[in-house]
Every structure is written in structure tokens, then in C-alpha cells.
Chain A
């Protein structure tokens, strides 16, 4: 008998629940095996088009949250007397009564804006849609859904014409590219997308990866390029400069599809190639050969996967994203198979302005609001579902939390954030199959039209908002209760879809004729929709096509002019003329090293000697020699504003010269411990010395 590669469990189970993983933006299909209501095993869904049965470590670890007695959260909601203290068990309804009363008190005393609502999981539809609605109804303007790189999506809207979400072509199309140009290594934390890169590579696509340190994408790239920290923009400018000054583009063709070329040309020629190469720490020839490679192949695909703490500011990120659109336009790669602009981590479900509610309007930047909690004392109550990654490093944040009158945490796992709350509600992010699940990397929406029961007292986060709104008298703005006063997810999804232009072709999810399915969006007209077995499975493949008109318009790009707007109001506002990254302001020659926001250990490899520490500081052997530092030496890192960080040294050539990498030894995924250290960006100048 031949064995099978089947996604099956060998444990005893009586039910399989199919759902969508919400650990990252990719949106893989998962199968949970349940026995007597308890999760016993997990596997990938082999019928799902994204992961085809595989599961990455981030997805696989979910089973640890649910397995046996580890699932403490499934059991009860807790009111705590004080932080970091055991509390008493109460029911969901009691918890909601408590929160509602407290919120009323706080509003009376401090005003509406004393409440901050932070939603960290942008994939959970009911949580973020109802959370923002609740904030608006309450009247606070301090509400945000986490979007890592929001400005980039705003930019996409302006340059490419109004579609929020920034994937021109889905990953399945990447194999059609001749060159894939990956900026940064963020893509390796959305593991399943790496598979599409490898597929493309196996078919002969050349992969360029540019980053400030070594990474798995680098390991797989044909052209792995390490640049100095904080010089992404300079690098991109260098590429454009060479393409423009050497005339490596088809002027006539570009003018046919884009406006503003002459301004770009003028702008890019202001810089000197040799200066740019020196700034990036590259040989001018390297820069030149990359520019030629990019100019001489078509179609090319740019994948933006730069972390926001890798650039100097959100503005820099916008400029970088914009320059990559310029590159694609010069290459004529925006409207055809295999060509595209894929800026990962942008956008979320296209929310409407919720004009039916009279109240505040909160749609702010998540990180900005986190900073406000630490720096200002105006926030008195916080409702959130975020994660305190590292208690040591988040001391000031925890300190700020302890001063608040009310902290409510919607907890999907038993972590530190759950501990630092007055009330924590056990929610489920995975076991429910609720309304649309949005996956921005994949530009898709998936749904199942039903809510599957979660284990124990875990409930969908949307139910918390719904019940709280009901209790506080906002029922008219939350009319989606069923006869048992529970949340009817299908109804909200239906309401939301009717409000949202990008999904207009789905006249209703609330019908028996539409089976569970998913689409690549936008799916603006019915002709774009592909059905299979009563389920809508696909929408528009390429966002733009040179051959076809954009639905609802008589032009290729949905902008006013019908062309890509390389120079427009926002372009002028963001300051052409300052495309280069600003020079780091080094007050003292002592601060000669740049920090890199370093990835988790698994991305750099094992450290060799075992370190008894949570962090290590990666130092290049040449620098270590100059400073007389050896493997394992205790190192002090000091920033210009005198912040101190201590960790053992790891001498490795995977960290470039003149940089220091802060590496988290425990964190499995890519997000290292930079959380809540607002000023610690890549390129920050530091001093290192032996303790």
C-alpha cells in the first residue's frame, strides 16, 4: 500500500472545521480537527488555492493556543482587581455590564476622546468593522485598525487610481514575471508567499532582493544586495537615475500610459550616481548592472516588503513606494501579465465612512495612538486586542497602561497583554467562520456565511462590540441581532458589502444560492466574477490591463486622466526634491554604528554558541576586531539620546560592517522586539562598547 500526502490527523476526532488562518495577511486555509469540542490537531486545507495543504510555523503554532489545558482562555472572562493579579471569573454579560458602566463614568468625567480603541488584527472582519463603528458611536476619534504601511496604500490610490489595497497582480501571476524585485525582507514573515517566489524562480524568473541584512529571501535571490541601513530611497533613486540618464526606457510608450514623466526626469537627474552608490555602500557598477537588469527585462514585478521601522519616516516609505511605481511605469510593466506593483501590508477591507452614525470619526494611525497612550495623559480607557511582545522592552507601555482607568483586552491567546487588563474577554480569531475574511497580500476576500462554535467561552470579537453597543444604547446603529440577541454575521457582511463599492457585484451574501467562496477583488462588475459550484471563486485577476478598460470607466487606469499620475497633488505635497533619505544626524563621532531592526534568529541561522539571553547583538567580524569584542562578550549599546541596551555579542558576517543587529532569540516570526520603541529605527546611530 502506498502512503498518501493527505492532510489528515491520526488523532481521534469527530469534526473537521475549515477556516482561514488570521496569523498574517496571506489568508491560508486551515483544517482544525476537533474531538468533543476540543481542538486536537491542525492541518492545511488542501482544497485552498493559497496554501494547498501546507502550514507555516505561525499557523501551526495555533494548535498550542487551543490544545488541552493550554486553552485557559476558553474558560472564562476575568475581572482583575489590579494589573498582574489573579482575578475572578465572571460571565461575558457581567463583563460587558462592567465595561459599559465604567465607560459611562469615564465619558462623564473626561469626555468622549478619553476612550481609545485599537484593533490589531486587520483580518478579523467583525472585530475591526464593529470596533470602529462602536468608537464612532461612542464619539471618540481615537480609534485605529492596524495597517502596517497605510501611507503606501493612500499613495496607490493617488497614482494608480483609487483602489485601496495595493496588489496589482496576485501571487499566482508572479511566475509570469521576468524579474521580481523584492525591497526588504518582510515577505519572509508571510511565509506562504515565499512559495510563490520559489515557484517563479524554478521557472527561470530572476529575483533581486535588497535589504539591510541577510534574510531567507536573500538566500534564495539571484541578486542579493545588502545596502546601508536607512538608504532604501537612495538605492531606488540610483536605479531610476541610471535608467533615465542612460535612456533605458521607451519614452513614447511611457507617455502613452503616464503623466508627469518630464518632472520625474528632471528630478532624478539632480542626483549623482557615485554619491548614491557611496551612500548605499555599493559599488557604482553594482547599481548600474541592477538598473540594466531591471530596464532590459519585461514584465517586472516590484514587491515592497520594507518594514516601516526600516525607513526614516512614513513619508520616506511613501516616497519609496512611489519611486517603485515610477520604475514600473518606465518599464511598461503595470498593465500586463507578470507585471505589477505589490506593496505588502497595505490596506484592509474598504470601510465606508459609516455616515449613518452621528458621532466621532476615528480612523487614525495605530502606532500614533500607541505613542499617545505613552506620552500623553489624555487617554483614560483602552479597548484593544493587541499583543505586548516583550514585557521587558515594553516597560513604559505597561507603565502607561497601569495608569488608565479601564483596560479591556480581547484576548485570543494567553499572553502578557491579557495579563495587563482589568477585563479580558476570551475571543476566537480562528475557529469562527464569519463574514468576509480580508487578506490584503492576496487581494482576496473569503467567506463562509456562518459562525462555527468556538471552544468553551471563546466567542467572536464582534459579539463583544455588538453587546457593548446594545448595552450602551447604540442599538439603532447595530441592527444585526438575531432572535436570541446574538450577532448575525451574515447580516453585517451583507450590509457592509452593499455599502462598499469594490464589492458591489456581490448583491448579497445573505442568500442560499451563494455558497462559501472567495474572490480576488475588486469584483466591480458581474462579468469579472467566476463561479464554481455555486460559489464565487474569483474576481478580477489583474487590477489594470493595457488591453481592457477599467470596469465602469472608458480608460485603462481609473484616474481622472485615465493615465498613471506620476506627478499629482500628493506628489508635490510629499516633497519632490527631497527624495534622498535624510542624512543621519550624528552629534558625535562616537555614534559610528547604525542599528538594524534585526529579524528573528531563525532568519539568520543558529548563533553557534548558546546564549543565555533573550537578545543578542550581531556584530560584523571586522568591527568586532577593531573593538576587541569576542563572541559572547557583554555589550552595551547606547543611542544618541542615551538609551541603553545590553546583550551578549554574536560575531557574524551576516551583519554588514558598521551596523549592529539586534536579534531576538526567542521570537519565531519576523517581528523582532522593536515594538513600542518608536525612535529605534533602522539607521539610528549607536555606540557600542564592551561592558
Chain B
């Protein structure tokens, strides 16, 4: 389930209807949260992701990509908001249904995993991803989908991007943990934080 926090990219009206409610989520499934207010587009997540998977990937092949949203605002020529685009580990992943090779599965804690060795590189998954996420190897053509750092989670560690993000803008967690983090953030100031699971209105270039 993708969650997107931003006070700069969405308007105030949109925010009020999108307050995070942990009760609405399965308590045993992880949630990915992107805090676009803190992302500065530095691309550290890309380097960390590559480093974590460097044994099986070429240099520069990552499962996370920094994107930007641009929208005009009245007091400035334009506003830009950066965010790392990665697999949201959807609750009901469309890519899982459509994959002809059966290379995609969803495991019990919510991670949508891909068996890269099963992947045939047909790229059908990219056509249905609501997050415009899928990314493929330059030479192999096979998917580089985020595996939620499965090998790290096995050892009780959150994925590399979430652990090492330079600005602490990426979170993985169970609903109650996420609720706690968001509450702390809100308590810190007057900024309104918006939790959104929509991808509409976000244009990437």
C-alpha cells in the first residue's frame, strides 16, 4: 500500500480527507511511506539499493528511482517536489495477476516479491502498475522490481533505502509504527501532513 506524505504537493482541501487511519490497514502487513517533504532528490537511496543488490546487478541498476513532481504555485514560478519512486507493495497487486511467468508473489508480511530468475523479461507488469514503477535491466531486460530487501528482512532489518536514506524520508513499517511516526511529525510543528495513496496528479518527467 503506497503512502505519500506531502504538504507542498497537494492542497489543503485534499489533505483533510486523507488522514492516516492505522485501523484501516491489516496490522500484519507492512506499509511503505514516502515523505516527499523531506526528500531532496539526492539519490542516496539509489546508491544504497544498488550496493545491496550489487552481486546480481550491473552498476546503476536499482529498484528505486528519484522522480519529481512539478506544479505551479502562485508565489513562485514553479514548485518541485522530489520523491523516490519504488514498488509500493500493493495490497492487491495487479502485476501478480498479470505476470505470465508466475514470477511475482505476495508473501505473508505483505512484500510483493519477484523471482528474478523466473522473470522472462516480457515487461507486461509495467503496463498495469498503478505507480508507474517497473524498471528493467539494461542488458538482461528482466525486472529489477524492489524485493523489499528480502535478505535484510530475514535478518530483522528494514530495507536499505529506508535505513540509510540521507534525509530519513523513506519508511517501512507496520501500521501502528507508521501511525506513531506520523504523530511525532505532526507534533513537531504546524505543518499539515498529508497521507495519500493516490498516484493521480503526479506527473513525472
Answer yes or no: do A and B interact.
yes
Residues of A that sit less than 8 Å from B by CB: 1-8, 10, 41-44, 51, 53-57, 60-61, 63-64, 67, 188, 191-192, 194-195, 198, 202-204, 214, 216, 218-220, 223-224, 226, 602-603, 605-606, 608, 653-654, 668
Cα A204 to Cα B190 with chains together (Å): 7
- Report, nearest first, the 10 A-B pairs whose CB atoms are least far apart: A60-B47, A56-B166, A216-B40, A57-B44, A219-B80, A605-B68, A57-B47, A54-B166, A3-B158, A203-B189
Please determine whether B80 and A605 come into contact, CB atoms closer than 8 angstroms: yes
A56 touches B77 (CB 8 A): no
| CA A63 to CA B162, docked complex, whole Å | 19
Given A1-B156, A55-B48, A606-B205; A43-B80 close (CB under 8 Å)? no
A55 to B161, CA, bound (A): 10
Quote the shortest CB–CB distance from A93 to chain B (angstroms). 35
Q: Are B80 and A56 in contact (CB under 8 A)?
A: no
Report how far A198 CA is from B166 CA in the complex, Å. Answer: 12
Q: Which residues of A contact B80 (CB under 8 A)?
A: 214, 218-219, 605, 654
B130 interfacial by beta-carbon distance below 8 Å: no
Tell me whether A220 and B40 are in contact in the complex, defined as CB-CB below 8 angstroms, given that A44-B164, A60-B48 are known contacts: yes
Q: Which residues of A contact B66 (CB under 8 A)?
A: 602
| Chain B residues closer than 8 Å to A64, beta-carbon distance | 59
List, in ascending order, chain A residues with CB within 8 A of B188's CB: 202-203
Q: Given A602-B66, A603-B41, A606-B68, does the pair A191, B155 have CB atoms closer than 8 Å? A: no
CB distance from A59 to the nearest CB of B (A): 8
**Nearest Cβ on chain B to A298's Cβ, whole angstroms:** 19
- In the assembly, what is the distance between CA of A198 and CA of B36, in Å? 11
Known: A195-B168, A202-B189. A2 touches B40 (CB 8 A): no
Asked if A219 and B82 sit within 8 Å, CB to CB, the answer is yes
Q: Given contact pairs A5-B157, A55-B166, A654-B78, enumerate 6 new A-B contacts (beta carbons under 8 Å).
A: A8-B155, A54-B164, A57-B46, A191-B42, A219-B82, A606-B67
Q: Give which listed residue, B40, B154, B157, B189, contacts A219 with CB less than 8 A.
A: B40
Cβ contacts under 8 Å, B172 to chain A: 3
Q: Tell me if B43 is interfacial: C-beta within 8 Å of chain A.
A: yes
Q: B174 near A: Cβ within 8 Å? A: yes
Is the C-beta of B51 less than 8 angstroms from some C-beta in chain A?
yes
Q: Which residues of A contact B18 (CB under 8 A)?
A: none
Residues of A near B76 (CB, < 8 A) are 224
Contacts of B153 in A (CB 8 A): 3
A602 to B65, CA, bound (A): 11
Given A216-B40, A216-B42, A226-B77, A10 and B155 touching (CB < 8 A)? Answer: yes
Q: What are some 10 contacts across the A-B interface (CB < 8 A)?
A: A7-B164, A10-B155, A43-B163, A60-B44, A191-B167, A203-B188, A204-B191, A216-B42, A219-B79, A653-B78
Q: How far is the CB of B65 from chain A (nearest CB, A)?
A: 9
Please indicate the chain A residues that have their CB under 8 angstroms from the CB of B204 in the complex: 606
- Known: A61-B47, A605-B80, A608-B205. Is A194-B40 also a contact (CB below 8 A)? yes
With A1-B156, A202-B191 as given contacts, are A60 and B51 in contact (CB-CB < 8 Å)? yes
Residues of A within 8 A of B165 (CB): 54
A56 and B156 within 8 A (CB): no
Q: Determine if B180 is an interface residue (Cβ-Cβ < 8 Å).
A: no
B12 on the interface (CB 8 Å rule)? no
Q: Which chain B residues border A43 with CB–CB below 8 Å?
A: 163-164
- List the B side residues contacting A216 at CB < 8 Å: 40-42, 82
Q: How large is the interface on B (under 10, 10 to 19, 20 to 34, 35 or more residues)?
A: 35 or more
| Given A195-B166, A605-B68, A605-B205: A188 touches B40 (CB 8 Å cut-off) | yes
Task: Answer yes or no: B151 CB below 8 A from chain A CBs.
Answer: yes
Q: How far is the CA of A654 from the CA of B54 in the complex (A)?
A: 34
Q: Are A60 and B164 in contact (CB under 8 A)?
A: yes
A218 to B40, CA, bound (A): 10
Q: Which residues 31-50 of B have a CB within 8 angstroms of A?
A: 37-38, 40-44, 46-48
In the bound complex, residues from chain A placing their C-beta under 8 Å from that of B77 are 226, 653
CA distance A56 to B43 in the complex (A): 8
Pairwise interchain contact A7-B40, C-beta atoms closer than 8 A: no
* A5 near B41: Cβ-Cβ < 8 Å: no
Q: Tell me if A63 and B51 are in contact (CB < 8 A).
A: yes
Q: Which of A2, A204, A220 has the most CB of B within 10 A?
A: A220
A54 and B167 contacting across the interface, CB-CB below 8 Å: yes
Q: Which of B48, B80, B82 has the most chain A CB within a 10 Å cutoff? A: B80
Report how far A605 CA is from B42 CA in the complex, Å.
10
Instruction: Please encode chain B, from 119 to 154, with 1 for each CB lying within 8 Å of some chain A CB and 0 for all others.
Output: 000000000000000000000000000000001111
- A4-B44 contact, Cβ under 8 Å, with A204-B189, A219-B82: no
- Residues of chain B contacted by A44 (CB below 8 angstroms): 164
Question: Would you call A5 and B167 a contact (CB within 8 A)?
Answer: no
Our pick among B43, B67, B174 for the contact of A668 (Cβ within 8 Å) is B43
Q: B94 at interface (Cβ–Cβ under 8 A)? A: no
Segment 150-205 of B: residues with Cβ below 8 Å from A: 151-158, 162-168, 172, 174, 177, 185, 188-191, 204-205
The answer on a CB contact under 8 Å between A7 and B166 is: no
* CB <8 Å contact, B41 and A605: yes
Q: Does B81 contact A (CB under 8 A)?
A: yes
Say yes or no: A5 contacts B162, CB within 8 Å: yes
Query: Are A602's CB and B44's CB within 8 A?
Result: no
> Which residues of chain B are within 8 angstroms of A654 by Cβ–Cβ distance?
78, 80
**What's the minimum C-beta distance from B40 to chain A, rounded to whole angstroms?**
4
What separation, in Å, do the CA atoms of A653 and B40 have in the docked complex? 19
- The chain A residue sitting closest to B55, CB to CB, is A11
Chain A residues lying within 8 Å of B41, measured Cβ to Cβ, are 216, 219, 602-603, 605
Residue from the list A4, A67, A203, A606 in contact with B157, Cβ < 8 A? A4
Contact check, B43 vs A3: say whether CB atoms are below 8 A apart: no
Chain B: CB-nearest residue to A217? B40
Closest chain A residue, CB of each to CB of B167: A195
User: What's the Cα separation between A7 and B52 when bound, in Å?
Assistant: 13
Q: In the assembled complex, which residues on chain A have CB atoms less than 8 Å from the CB atom of B158?
A: 3-5
Tell me which residues across on chain B come within 8 A of A203, comparing CB atoms. 188-189
For the complex, give the distance between the alpha carbons of A591 and B85 in Å. Answer: 41
Assess the A602–B43 pair: CB atoms within 8 A. yes
Known A202-B189, A219-B80; contact A5-B163, beta-carbon cutoff 8 A: yes
Q: How far does the alpha carbon of A54 sit from the alpha carbon of B44 in the complex, in Å?
A: 9
Q: In whole angstroms, how far apart are the Cα atoms of A214 and B81 in the complex?
A: 12
User: Nearest residue in A to B191 (C-beta to C-beta)?
Assistant: A202
Given A55-B44, A60-B47, A198-B38, residue A6 in contact with residue B157 (CB < 8 A): yes
Residues of chain A within 8 A (CB-CB) of B157 are 3-6, 8, 10
Chain A's closest residue to B66 (CB) is A602
A223 and B205 alpha carbons, distance in the complex (Å):
24
Within 8 Å by CB of A57, from B79, B166, B205, lies: B166
Q: How far is the CA of A220 from the CA of B82 in the complex (A)?
A: 10
Check B82–A67 contact: CB distance below 8 A.
Answer: no
A173 and B193 CA atoms in complex are apart in Å by: 24
- CB-CB < 8 A to B47: which residues of A? 57, 60-61
A7-B163, A55-B44 known; A202-B185 Cβ under 8 A? yes
Nearest-CB residue, chain A, relative to B78:
A653
A428 to chain B, nearest CB (A): 20
Q: A60-B164, A608-B205 are in contact. Are A42 and B40 (CB under 8 A)?
A: no
Considering the complex, which residues of chain B in the window 73-89 have a beta carbon less than 8 Å from any beta carbon of chain A?
Answer: 75-82
What A residues does B189 contact at CB under 8 A? 202-204
In the bound complex, CA of A212 to CA of B143 (Å): 40
- Chain B, residues 77-121, CB within 8 Å of chain A (1/0): the string is 111111000000000000000000000000000000000000000
Q: Could you say which residues of chain B place their CB within 8 Å of the CB of A42?
A: 51
CB nearest to B185 among chain A residues:
A202
Q: Which residue of B lies closest to A70 (CB)?
A: B59
Q: Which residues of B contact A653 (CB under 8 A)?
A: 77-78
Pick the contact of B40: A53, A191, A224, A606 (CB < 8 A).
A191
In the bound complex, residues from chain B placing their C-beta under 8 Å from that of A602 are 41-43, 66
Q: Is the CB of B42 within 8 A of A56?
A: yes
